[in-house]
Amino acid sequence: MTFPDFASAQSFYIWSILILSMVLGAVVNKTNFCTMGAVSDLVNIGDKGRLRAWVLSATVALLGVTILEFMGVFSLNSSVPPYRGVINPQTLENVFPWGRFVLGGFLFGIGMTLGSGCGNKTLIRIGGGNIKSIFVFVIIAVIAYAMVDPFKELDVINWSAAAAPVSNDASWYERNIDRWINVNWYASYFAPWLDVASFKMSTQSDLGSIAAGVTGGSVETMRLVFGLIVAAIALFIVFKAADFRASFDNILAGVVIGVIVVAAWYITSNTMVSVDDEPQSMRTFVSESWDIEMEGEAAEAKPKNAGTNLLNTSYTFISPIGQVTGYVKEGFSINYLTFGVLAVIGVILGSFIWSLISRSFRIEWFVSLKDFIYHSIGGVLMGIGGVLGLGCTVGQAISGVSTLALGSFLVFISIVFGSALTMKIQYYKMVYEEEAGFFKALITSLVDMKLLPGSLRQLEAV
């Protein structure tokens, strides 16, 4: 999709993403698609329906990306977040930061349980009138903004290879590494100790690239093969359950959310601007042609940090919620209107519209001080965990999985584990009250999850 000027391309970009996000918000509200709810159903009543819907959405997205990328419609080797590859800016080596994936996912899983839902669910609940979720949203927004600071005018703001100079000049990193250090909370407080928990990669970290590196085959072919195999296995597991096949809402949620994720990848990868009859991506136009092509008031609307914020992307919600802080802070300037900000606004609007149509809109507030404290802690943990893990339940477990990124699968597992463990601890403390201290509930929960021997059980199973 090539447009004659940047303004036309930007207008299409804004409206298409906003509309997609509104549809996403409406469908999630209508179907009660909830990743925390999926874990809760599994842990508490053994129901896998919403978990299957979650897996179906990731599978539909994976199929779409696998086929379109093989056909050359787009390439997701460079994206934000950098699902397929994290680059150490000091050594230019591919690394796999397993420590931040595990810790980030685990903290996020705890946070979404204490906060009554993940980042996406927080937006859905805001649209439905939940004031508690507005409070959680504000906490996430402040924490995530400080962790990432996405509008910082720097060449390198994270370890994304795509955020680096095209030349990959090692001396550039030596000259500019001090500009990366202390850029944000992550670089200041987490990178010095957490980045040690990583190992070098000779390829990008998606399954196709790893397989190609081992076999010497084509990366594109390996991605197609692995994508189709993983999708086939997932679809078999999802649809073998008769009750799931009979659930219209679960199937609707899985298919529509997966398609929307693919559509976002397509739009952000293929919205072009014509320059001398040659198509340029919006990101390239801002980086290379802006000062030449743009004049007057139009020149003042230059997108902030376009080198990163206009990379190929799809839905994720923690960093985007943080971007809303910058957008509001700068007076709702179009310079700060990113994909993420549009996604947040659109999901809330879509949920709000559906809640009015379905007459489900209702105001909710904290029921107790304990409820307030839990939601506060949940917001903090989601803000930190979502940034550390480079995504949330949607960002990593659906958008990230669609790229076959190994880190996305690891984050997904860590989120589920953190959430399930928290739920079990809460359940034992609720049932046994005074008798169940945190330590006893923790040990018993780990026994239930087959992670400790039964001889260590502190409380009777319930």
pLDDT for position 252: 96
| Whether this model's pTM surpasses 0.85 | yes
Q: What is the pLDDT of residue 85?
A: 82
Would you say residue 99 lies in a domain? yes
Measured at the CA of 287, the angle between CA 283 and CA 288, to 5 degrees, comes to 115
Report if residue 17 sits inside a domain: yes
User: DSSP alpha helices (H): ranges in 271-368?
Assistant: 282-284, 290-293, 296-299, 306-309, 318-329, 339-357
| Both tokens assigned to 192 | 């010095």
Host domain of residue 33 = 2-456
In-domain check, residue 342: yes
Report the alpha-carbon distance of residue 366 to residue 378 in Å, rounded.
14
Residue 360 lies in a domain: yes
Alpha-carbon distances of 235 from 51, 55, 58, 245, 398, rounded to whole Å: 13, 8, 10, 11, 14
Question: Is 100 domain-assigned?
Answer: yes
How many domains in the chain?
Answer: 1
In a domain, 461, yes or no: no
Is residue 127 in some structural domain? yes
pLDDT recorded at residue 460: 86
What helix, strand, coil percent values describe the chain, rounded to 5? 65, 5, 30
CA–CA gap between residue 242 and residue 399 (Å, rounded): 27
Q: How far is CA 163 from CA 81, 306, 312, 313, 361, in A?
A: 10, 10, 12, 13, 42
Q: Is 194 part of a structural domain of the chain? A: yes
pLDDT along the chain (462 residues), means of 10: 92 96 97 91 89 96 97 92 77 83 96 92 94 95 90 50 38 48 77 88 92 92 96 96 93 97 97 89 89 80 89 94 94 94 97 95 91 95 95 94 96 96 92 84 92 90 77
Q: Report how far residue 325's alpha carbon sits from residue 149's, in angstroms, rounded to the nearest whole number.
A: 9
Measured CA to CA, the distance from residue 453 to residue 432 in angstroms comes to 21
